[in-house]
Homo-oligomer: A and B are copies of this chain.
Amino acid sequence: MKRAVVLLSGGMDSATCLALASAEAFEVFALSVSYGQRHVVELECAQKLAESFRVQDYRTAEVNLRLFGGSALTDEIEVPKAGPSCDVPVTYVPARNTIFLSLALAYAEVVGARTIFAGMNAVDYSGYPDCRPEYVAAFEQMANLATKATVSGGQRMTIATPLMQLTKPAIIEAGEANGVDFAMTTSCYDPRANGAPCRECDACRLRRDAFAALGKRDPRETLFE
């Protein structure tokens, strides 16, 4: 059985990624990262998702990105609530995806997985540089020079980003078609203490608009009524 590492944040995109990897009959090794994020509730969601898809193994790597700060998600910077800006938003976490993919690469190398699934999306996204297809292609190329297999002539490493060109509503449809219960996912950057979404940050807006476009109600909303 072919193996894959799936980066699992607990959000909608990585949940759909997990579902797609499972549907493609990969033996899944799921990886979350506890990095000092403000929205740590996402790790509870990630664990539930990993259990619901009966992954082969689920691990949480710890790396405290508050050491560097520089983001509204890891520092004393307010999460914007006034709608999207034109620039890279302050919720961007410096080098986060590079660090996550690097950890996934270590995990993949150790368990012998040659595919890493990650939920980057360049359509309905927040304008982060490390979500663009050219970035992912460059990471893949670097990964194929980084590991032992590349010296010993092993199989190539692939960074699979099946959501890259999907709209957010299409991601929801793909997830639902493959068994994701979106009530188990969270998107909010600034949730309340009980995990309830703020309904005002960019991530909440994108999520609400996506369910609305499908004429559906977000199943997570019912959890907090």
Interface residues of chain A, those whose CB is within 8 Å of chain B, are: 59, 61-65, 67-70, 87-88, 92-99, 101-103, 105-107, 109-110, 127, 129-130, 132, 134-135, 138-139, 141-143, 145-148, 150-152
Contact = CB atoms under 8 A, between A and B. Distances in A.
Given A138-B142, A142-B139, A145-B129, A106 B95 contact: yes
13 contacts: A62-B63, A62-B64, A63-B63, A70-B106, A94-B109, A95-B147, A98-B105, A98-B106, A102-B102, A135-B142, A135-B146, A138-B141, A139-B146
Given A106-B94, A106-B95, A145 B151 contact: no
A195 B92 CA distance: 41
B143 A68 contact: no
A99 B95 contact: no
Given A94-B110, A109-B70, A146-B97, A151 B88 contact: yes
Nearest to A96: B106
A223 B139 CA distance: 43
A197 to B, nearest CB: 26
A9 B64 CA distance: 19
The dominant DSSP class at the A interface is: helix
A101 B132 CA distance: 20
Given A68-B110, A94-B110, 9 more contacts: A63-B63, A63-B103, A88-B151, A94-B147, A98-B102, A98-B143, A129-B151, A134-B145, A135-B145
Contact of A67 (B61, B88, B92, B99): B61
Contacts of A132: 145
A138 B145 contact: yes
B88 A146 contact: no
A103 B68 CA distance: 9
A164 to B, nearest CB: 14
Contact of A62 (B59, B62, B106, B130): B62
Contacts of A95: 102-103, 105-106, 109, 146-147
